[in-house]
Amino acid sequence: MTREQYLKLSSILAAGTLLPHNLLAEIFSPEELKRNDFGKDFIWGTATAAYQIEGGWNEDGKGESVWDHFVHEHKGKIKTHETGDVACDFYHRYESDIELMHKMNIPASRFSIGWSRVLPQGTGAVNQKGIDFYHRVIDKCLKENVEPWVTCYHWDLPQALEEKGGWANRDSIKWFEEYVNVISKEYGDKVKNWMVFNEPMAFVPLGYLIGVHAPGYVNFSKFYKAVHHVTMSHGAGGRILRANVKGATIGTTFSCSHVDAKNDKPANVKAARRADAFINRLFIDPVLGLGYPKADLPACKHIERHMLDGDAEKMKFDFDFIGLQNYSRMVIYQLGLIPIIHFANVPAKKLGHDTTDMGWEVYPEGIYNLIKKFGAYRNIPKIIITENGAAFPDENVNGEINDTKRIQFLKDYLKQVLKAKQEGVNVCGYFIWSFMDNFEWAEGFRPRFGLVGVDFKTQQRTIKASGKWFSEFLSK
C-alpha cells in the first residue's frame, strides 16, 4: 500500500464510512511482502503471557503471584486501577481461542506457564489441577496444528517466594531449577521448543529498581542481586531443559532497543555506549560467556560483588537460539543526575516520527540494526524475533476493527527483518505481540496490541484488519 493509499484509507476511517472493496484488496495484497520470501522453514507465530491473558487468578488451587499481589495491594500503580484477575479469561476460553488461532492460519503460539498455578508456594507441593490445565492447552494446540512454544518465566514469581526475598535471594536459583524441572518433565514429551526467560531487562529493573512493576521495589541492593541471580538462572534453567527434554530447541529472550546518541558530542556518544550496555547487553553478554559489560557500564562492579567462585562458568549456556524483542529505539544524551546509568532518553514525540499508543517511536530500521548487531556475535547460532508489535487506539465500528496503522507497522518491520535475513544473518522466526488484546501490566487494559480485539466486558473476540492481513499473508 502506497503512502497515498494509506492516507486516503485513514481519512475514510476517520469519517466512519465503510471501506471500499478495492482498498481492502490493496491492504491484503500479497504483492508487497510474501511469506515465501522468508523461506519455507521460517517460524511464524504470535505471543502471549500467562498473567496477561489467563485470569482465574485464585481458581483450582493456584497460588498468589507477585502480580496478583501487586495489583491488589498497589492498585494505584496501575494507571487504570485495573487488575488481571479475569484478563482475557483464557483459563476458561482457551479452547475457542486456540481454535481461532487455527482459523487464522497461525502456525505457532508462544505462551508462558504460570509458576504459581503449578507450584502454588513456588516450591514443594504440585497443584495437579494447574498441571492438568497446561496439558489441556498444549493438547489443544497440537490438535489444532498450532505448535506450542513455552516460556518458563514471564514475570509472575509466586508471592510466597517474593516474601523470602524473591530474585534478590540467591536461593531463587534453586527455586527456579525446581520449577523448570517440574514443567519440563511434565510437558517435555509434547513441547520441544522452550524459552527460559522473558525480558530480564524489563522485569528486573522495573520490579526492583524503579518500582513501577511487581514486586514494586526501589532498591539498588535488591536490583544488583536480582540481576546476578536471574543471569545465573538462565544457565541453570537451560541445563535442566537440556537434560529433561529429548530433542529440545532451547532459547531465551531479551528486550532490545537500537541506541543512537543524540549528537556527536563525546559525552553523549559515551552515554549511548553505556545505554547499549545496560539495555541490550547486561544479561546477554554473561549468558554468552562474555561477562558483565563493565567496560562500558561501570555499575556492573556492584553486580560482580555478588558473584561466587564458579559463577562465571555457570552463567553460560549454549542456547540453540536467542530471542530478540523490539518495539522502538532510544536516542540518548548524558545526564549525570540519573543513578547507575547517567543517561536519559529523548522523548519519542521530539524525534519527528510516528509514535504508538505507548508513546514509543515507530522506527523499523531499529530492528534491522539489532539483528545485525547480535548476528555478529560469534556464539549466537540463530535469532528469532520472539516479540514485535504495536499498540494503537483501536476502535470497534459496527463489528469491524480497521487497524491500518498496525498493518503498516508490521509490514515495515517485517521488511527490515527480511533485509537482515537476505544479508546473511540467521534470523529464522517472527512472533507478533500479541495474539489478542490483554492486560498490559502497569498500563492496564488501555493499550491494544492484539491481532484480535477483546471486549473485556463481554469477552467477545473480534479479528482485526491486522489479524486478517496476517492470516492472508500466512496462507500464501
Virtual CA dihedral for 330, 333, 335, 340, nearest 10 degrees?
Answer: 50
CA dist., res. 10 & res. 274, Å (int): 40
With a CB cutoff of 8 Å and minimum separation 6, the contacts of 268 are 261, 262, 332, 333, 334
* Residue 266 Rama label (left phi>0; alpha psi -120 to 50; beta): alpha
Distance, in Å, from the CA atom of 434 to the CA atom of 56, rounded to the nearest integer, reads: 20
Integer Cα distance of 219 and 305 in angstroms: 16
Residue from 54, 199, 361, 440 carrying the catalytic annotation = 199
> Which residue, among 390, 389, 466, has the nearest Cα to 430 in the 3D structure?
389
Q: Are 50 and 117 in contact (CB under 8 A)?
A: yes
- By DSSP bridging, strand 343-345 and strand 427-433 are unpaired
Tell me how many helices (H) and strands (E) the chain has.
Answer: 18, 13
Strand order in 343-345's β-sheet?
Answer: 258-261, 329-334, 343-345
Three-class SS state of 334 = strand
Identify whether 387 is a catalytic site residue: yes
Query: By three-state DSSP, how is residue 370 classified?
Result: helix
Which residue's C-alpha cell is 543512537? 260
DSSP per-residue string spanning 281-333? ITTHHHHTTS---TTT-TTHHHHHTT--TTHHHHT----SEEEEE-S-EEEEE
Q: For residue 173, how many other CB atoms are within 10 A of its CB?
A: 20
Looking at the DSSP bridge assignments, the partners of residue 251 are 195, 321
- Which of the following is catalytic: 387, 400, 443, 472? 387
Q: What are the residue numbers of the active site?
A: 199, 387
